[in-house]
Amino acid sequence: MLLASPEDFERARSLRSEIERLDHHYYVLDAPLVPDAEYDRLFRELQALEARFPELQQQNSPTQRVGGRVLEAFSPVRHAVPMLSIRTETDTESTGAMAFDARVRRELKLTESDPPVEYAAELKFDGLAINLRYENGVLICAATRGDGETGEDVTENVRTVGQIPLRLRMPVAPAVLEVRGEIYMKRADFNRFNARALAAGEKNLVNPRNGAAGSIRQLDSKIAASRPLSFFAYGLGEVRGWSLPPTHAEVLDALTTIGLPVCAERAVCRGATALADFHARVAARRHELPFDIDGVVYKVNSLALQEKLGFVTREPRWAVAHKYPAEEALTQLLGIDVQVGRTGAITPVARLAPVFVGGVTVTNATLHNQDEIDRKDVRIGDTVIVRRAGDVIPEVVGPVLDRRNGDLPRFNLLEQFRVCPVCGSHVVRGEDEAVARCTGGLYCPAQRKQALLHFASRRAMDIEGLGDKLVDQLVDENIVRTPADLYKLGVLALANLERMGEKSAINLLAAIDHSRETSLARFIFSLGIRNVGEATAKDLARYFGSLDCLLDADEAALTAVPDVGPIVARCIVEFCHEAHNLQVIDDLRAAGVRWPEGAPQASVTGRLVGKVVVLTGTLPTLSRDDAKALIEAEGGKVSGSVSKKTDYVVAGTEAGSKLEKALSLGVVVLDEAQLQQLLREGTLERGADATTTDNGVTQ
């Protein structure tokens, strides 16, 4: 007989101590220290040790009971029927379902010739298990799982959960009906709650599971009432005076008829293959679900067979939780690098010790931005929790604080990365922005494709034929580095590109050549200065009259331009102070890009000065661009949306929601003829009575 060594005894003692500590934080404090995958690994190691060396087994081992104990702040509730946990199948492949079916068939002494076992397959929710006790149809007590034998009385908090009926919809209610289920928080509700908390300067919830558990397991029911909690029923406890149907699936159907919510994502499956198919189907849709799950649950469907199979120690033989690959794992944060996006956004990226999570080995994970790093208090050298959900980019959830060694320094992105690691331009962060950005928009290789596409767009330089795929080729093959390089292209360089023949190359070169003649407003817009849209570019061109005047302007001069505030002014100054950008502008001028310039026009004149106009539908003779140009020539502003600040909506045929909103707000609606009259005369010959426009709309 193999005997345990002193090292085995010490390892078992250490594992019990660590698991009990983790249980205390998870069940009692509602503050889990590690991901489920890490807990499961420790638990399986202890199980294996005790199975190999029986002398290591102890009656009070975590493997012999359900973890947790009652908080002193709550009254204890003795469960009439114990709330035991179910076995976890950690083989995340289809073989996990096969293994469970094989165990069940073995316990039932079935042979290969016997028919397949019928199972009820459900989702494994990530929330707080709860027992609802109804007496004569009325909810009289709600209790947590606790240690499985004794839970905590949380009735007042549970009463605030709208999905849980206070009275069952039954003409004749049983003397006792205990319903078991999960209180959880939908992801959308969790995100909305956190957004409101952030806006109010309050503490965020860590994750939906903690949000649900923490809401129920605290002393103020007003807090629970303020939280967006949901509930699913999935089983029964004590039952007196109610005839049970023969199967678990029928029990769930019956619960729905008496007013209890049951998840519709469930199925009756015959045999192991059907279980594996259910596991795979749910896995494919897992991230579309409105709530978090970490696996599925299989239960022998027949209640008679459940009774025959019975229990082993802490779990039923007739049920199992079949998990998916762990979406959270622990690893060490080795360093923080940054990535530069197509728009210049500087994103901090965690460099990690390799860790297997969500089915892949992860070495990098996003940290989003400086605010998130500060909020989570993530520091280089920390042991961190990494999450990967489906195809979503892995992220660092947060540090494991009790594993932090010493006072690690905080990370400051703007101190560590004062200049862009790609192009060397300055990195800045606006006061009202979460993201830091590279200011080398026209020069930075990371932004080349986006800069070129914007430069060539219809409302900028209007280079017809220069689309995404062609820009990809020009940049990837290092033919074009800045917009100025477009004006150096020849037929031969273009004709050799994929799907670009000689004729197409000639047409593109003609479009590029045509774009050399432009307007100052279009050129300013083409530069892609952050927060400078088409309307602002026109305001800047009108106010300064020449590009050099704009380039020399400081923030004070810029904020004197109508509708240019401090944020926009700062973005312009930062762009114009970057030598790389000025060099590209010089190169464009040298390539023959030109525009008419005139004297500065500090004030706007015209018949529509101060008026906001919205265009919708198709006008009889004017294109949308023509109408917009006419309105702006008279000093008006063309907006894309209707609000109380809108003065006129010009509606053509097939006008949609903008017209409806204008009518609901009482905004004046014009047809094309009335717009032309307004442009000519500045007034409308209209009576006080409602009129009908040419498009058939009564106003």
CATH number for the domain that contains residue 29:
1.10.287.610
Tell me if the pTM is above 0.95: no
Domain closes at, from 323, 357, 384? 323
Q: Tell me the pLDDT tens digit for each residue of 606-663.
A: 788 878 899 998 898 888 888 888 888 788 888 888 988 899 999 998 887 888 888 8
Q: Is 420 annotated as a binding residue?
A: yes
Q: Is 61 annotated as a binding residue?
A: no
Examine residue 421 and state whether it is found in any structural domain, yes or no: no
CATH of the domain at 489: 1.10.150.20
Bridge partners of 132? 142, 179
- pLDDT value at position 641? 86
- pLDDT value at position 690? 36
Same domain, 526 and 557: yes
Q: Tell me the pLDDT tens digit for each residue of 469-507.
A: 999 999 999 999 999 999 999 998 888 888 888 888 999
Domain closes at, from 64, 79, 111? 64
Pairing status of strand 319-323 against strand 87-89: parallel
- Is residue 66 within 8 A of residue 148, CB to CB? The reply is yes
CA atoms of 349 and 394, how far apart (whole Å): 10
Q: For the chain, what is the domain count?
A: 5
Same domain, 144 and 281: yes
Q: Is 147 annotated as a binding residue?
A: no
Terminal-residue alpha carbon distance, the chain: 95
Q: What is the mean pLDDT of residues 115-122?
A: 97
Least confident of 92-96, 217-221, 226-230, 396-400: 217-221
CATH of the domain at 639: 3.40.50.10190
Q: Is 269 annotated as a binding residue?
A: no
Same domain, 548 and 529: yes
Domain closes at, from 416, 438, 456? 416
- Is residue 367 within 8 A of residue 397, CB to CB? The reply is no
CATH of the domain at 348: 2.40.50.140
Q: Is 498 annotated as a binding residue?
A: no
Copy the structure tokens of residue 440.
């080398």
The one catalytic residue in 124, 538, 611, 628 is: 124
Same domain, 205 and 108: yes
Q: Which residue has the higher pLDDT, 379 or 71?
A: 379
pLDDT-above-90 percentage for the chain: 55
What is the sign of the dihedral through the CA atoms of 675, 679, 680 and 684?
positive
- pLDDT reading at 139 higher than 90: yes
Q: Is 515 annotated as a binding residue?
A: no
Same domain, 318 and 334: no
Examine residue 75 and state whether it is found in any structural domain, yes or no: no
- Dihedral of the alpha carbons of 651, 654, 657, 658, in degrees to the nearest 10: -20
Same domain, 196 and 306: yes
Q: Is 215 annotated as a binding residue?
A: no
Q: Tell me the pLDDT tens digit for each residue of 677-692.
A: 888 887 776 443 333 3
> What band does 108 get if pLDDT is binned at 50, 70 and 90?
very high
Examine residue 435 and state whether it is found in any structural domain, yes or no: no
Q: Tell me the pLDDT tens digit for each residue of 146-193.
A: 888 999 999 988 988 888 988 898 989 999 999 999 999 998 998 888
Mark whether 376 is an active-site residue. Answer: no
CATH of the domain at 277: 3.30.470.30
Q: Tell me the pLDDT tens digit for each residue of 239-290.
A: 999 999 999 999 999 999 998 999 999 999 999 999 999 999 999 888 889 9
Same domain, 296 and 390: no
Same domain, 147 and 223: yes
Examine residue 438 and state whether it is found in any structural domain, yes or no: no
CA atoms of 209 and 190, how far apart (whole Å): 10
- pLDDT value at position 10? 93
- pLDDT value at position 27? 60
pLDDT-above-70 percentage for the chain: 94
Same domain, 332 and 319: no
Same domain, 247 and 115: yes
- pLDDT value at position 685? 61
Examine residue 106 and state whether it is found in any structural domain, yes or no: yes
Examine residue 601 and state whether it is found in any structural domain, yes or no: no
Same domain, 101 and 53: no
Q: Is 323 annotated as a binding residue?
A: yes
3-state secondary structure of 76: strand
Q: Is 37 annotated as a binding residue?
A: yes
Examine residue 76 and state whether it is found in any structural domain, yes or no: no
Examine residue 453 and state whether it is found in any structural domain, yes or no: no
Q: Is 141 annotated as a binding residue?
A: no
Q: Is 145 annotated as a binding residue?
A: yes
Same domain, 162 and 264: yes
Is residue 487 packed enough to be buried (19+ CB in 10 Å), middle (13-18) or exposed (0-12)?
Answer: middle
By residue range, what is the domain housing residue 25?
6-64
